[in-house]
Structure 1
Amino acid sequence: MKTSARKNVLSKWLKTKAILKDPKVRMLVPETRRMNEKSLGKMLRRYSMVYIKPEAGTYGNGVMRVEQGNDSYSYQEKEKKRVFDSFPSMYQSIVRNKPKRPYLVQKGIHLLKYKGRRFDIRVMVQRNRKRAWEMTGMIGRVAHPRKIVTNYHCGGKPTEVRTLLKPFVSGENLSKIEKTLSKAGYDAAKALSRTYPGLNMVGADIGLDNRLRPWIIELNTNPDPYIFRHLADKSIARKVLSYARALKRIPKAKSKPKRYSNRSLSNKPLQR
């Protein structure tokens, strides 16, 4: 098996192929194909709703939600939705409007909603001082009410995971869901690192459907650690950021200048 020492893998296709090798993780991955007219048509007939996205895109840019109705087809990018009376006319519009680069098509997951807005969970997994993978933090991301992606850079709102889950589950079951999400992120990072052992940080974006089944929507090998500052529990952000600094993924924290009281200054001998 070929492996790579790189710390960042941009290709969503390569990351998907890598984690599909793990039987535990494979069952959590929505069907994903390289997009062309044939594969998009086939996936739409199978699932009625799919997402298409750039193979190497970031921040949710270029992602489209594509749907097949009884007598129409549609796709939405950002806040704009286009409707067509045939698949060929829709596909030609997609080709004209998308960036000229490879795209993937992925089974659409009908995500749980919080106050009418879709959300997913970012699970941060980092290598610790012993080089072992460790789940260091989880945070919810709630989509902008008029957009299809949850990314913070596209208007997504960082939110406590428990706040998002409480309308659907409580007590011990809530804790079980949190453990399931944590394990899914951990297992995905570990599976990905078998092909790319140089990785040291993975942000797993995990969605829950209406049966509370987790789905690994995407893995980010250059995840933003600063988003965890939005959590009320500041110890989580401190841990995530300290690990990121130790792994040299973000700059070291600047030391604060020393402050002197008037009294301490008055006791110092004058410089001559």
Structure 2
Amino acid sequence: MNPSTQGIVGILVGECTGPLPFAESAFFRQLCHIGNQQRMTIYVFCPGWVTSGHRSIPGYTFENGKWIRKQFRAPEIIYDRCISLDKRQQRRKQRCLEILNELQPFVYLTRGLAGKWSVYQALVKHKLFVPFLPHTVRYENSSQLDQWISNHEGEAFLKPQNGSHGKRTLHVKEIKSEPGGGFVVTGRDSSNQPFLRKFHSRQDGLEWIHRFVGSRIFLLQPYLQLNNANGEPFDVRVLMQKNENGNWSMTGMAVRAGRKHTLTSNLHGGGSAHRALPFLTKELGTQDASRAIDTIHHLSEAIPVHLESHFGRLAELGIDFGVDRKGQVWILEVNSKPGRSSLSRIGDMQGARKSVENPIQYARYLLLRKNLA
């Protein structure tokens, strides 16, 4: 490393249109600020900007109150915030990483997870998690869905293997009064807009769902009643991160409540954030709320260690839990590229600050270990 700096961290992101060619600029601005305090160089770059034959990388850093584009040395650590939506983007990202590794071997801050189905398969192997996992299978065809609905009290929940923010989720409910056994399908489209469709014919509904799924991988689960007394869907988001000592710790916890009669509770879908214990106490009572919080803490401590043994080094995880009207806790999803806005929304400013500091401090921990090795 250059004696004037404590390391170079490149934040790998997907390219988009707008005033800046990347999203999450407020988060990355904070990372640059914290990196500067630690005498680290932090910059943002996209896979398409890295080309073979060039020893420097074009990127953006935040200096003197503004974003500046300039050339940087290859990163020693890569913080991957890039979500590849298709195989073409995955190949471009992989080629970018190959070129960077040729320039200088780098350390991955976090390996990431391989999709919801792989995460479920990893978790279900551990007896600790099994009672808290909704039974999950891959969607195959209309006849499988038809049988599933018949076996699960006339309902089903479908979600995409690689989806985020509640996009393309579906709740299918049988209309028992219909002679043909029709369906009501509620969900969110690819733009995260809520919709409702009614099918008087069971077959029409099944065919429409099959077209909606298309060639994408979808997961099929029982529909869980995860609404509060007002009919608002909610979940509990826990942010687990590695700290400056390389140890997992809970940075914060918040309830995310969606709009009434909508399907998901994600804040991108127009939801609100609340402190977990008061919210659950209001819904479940003191004893059941306390029991649910204890269970969430216990599971949150165990999940990161278990998933690291399957997927390699991880730096942070957003773990989403459902809590039903009986107080039963459910592991809903685990995200290796989590958001963190819910902490500031509930006024947990210490947690919000740590959520930004931890990735940089863990990166510094890895660099120090690398240089001492």
When normalised by structure 2's length, the TM-score is 0.61
Measure how far apart 1:189 and its partner are.
2.3
User: 1 CA distance for matches of 2:246 and 2:143?
Assistant: 43
SS for the counterpart of 2:129 is: helix
Partner letter of residue 59 of structure 1? H
- TM superposition shift of 1:9: 1.8
C-alpha change, 1:185 and 1:95, in structure 2 (3 Å) is: same
RMSD in angstroms over aligned alpha carbons? 2.2
For the pair 1:52 / 2:158, whether they are aligned, the reply is yes
Residue-by-residue CA offset, 1:192-231 (whole Å, 9 max, x unaligned)? 2220121121111100111100001111111012331112
Deviation at 1:97, TM superposition (A): 3.1
Q: Is 1:76 matched up with 2:182? A: no
Mapped partners of 1:127, 1:39: distance in 2: 41
**What does residue 60 of structure 2 align with?**
none
Aligned residues of 2:229 and 2:283 also touching (Cα < 8 A): no
Change (3 A) 1:245 1:114: farther
Instruction: Determine the structure 1 residue equivalent to 2:245.
Output: 130
The answer to whether 1:196 aligns with 2:302 is no
* 2:355 equivalent in structure 1: 240
Tell me which residue corresponds to 2:173: 67
Equivalent residues of 2:110, 2:315 under 8 A apart: no
CA contact (8 A) 1:74 1:84 kept: yes
Contact 1:122 1:203 in 2 (8 A): yes
**TM-score normalised by the chain length of structure 1:** 0.82
Q: Which runs of 5+ in 2 are unaligned?
A: 1-107, 189-193, 364-373
Q: CA deviation at 1:111?
A: 0.7
TM-superposed CA distance for 1:99, in Å, is 5.3
Task: Please say if 1:111 is aligned against 2:111.
Answer: no
Is the 1:6–1:196 contact (alpha carbons within 8 Å) kept by the matching residues of 2? no
Q: 1:231 aligns with which of 346, 351, 362?
A: 346
Contact preservation (8 Å) 1:126, 1:136: yes
The gaps in structure 1 that reach 5 residues or longer are: 249-272
Q: Which amino acid aligns with 1:159?
A: H
> Percent identity between the aligned chains?
23
- Say whether the 8 Å CA contact 1:5–1:196 is kept in structure 2: no
Residues 6 and 241 of structure 1: CA distance in aligned 2, closer, same or farther (over 3 Å): closer
Q: Larger relative CO (CA 8 A, sep 6+): 1 or 2? A: 1
Matches of 2:211 and 2:272, distance apart in 1? 31
Task: State the secondary structure of the residue aligned to 1:57.
Answer: coil
Q: Structure 1 residue 177: deviation in Å? A: 2.2
Cα separation, 1, equivalents of 2:230 and 2:137: 32
Offset of residue 186 of structure 1: 2.4
State the secondary structure of the residue aligned to 1:76: strand
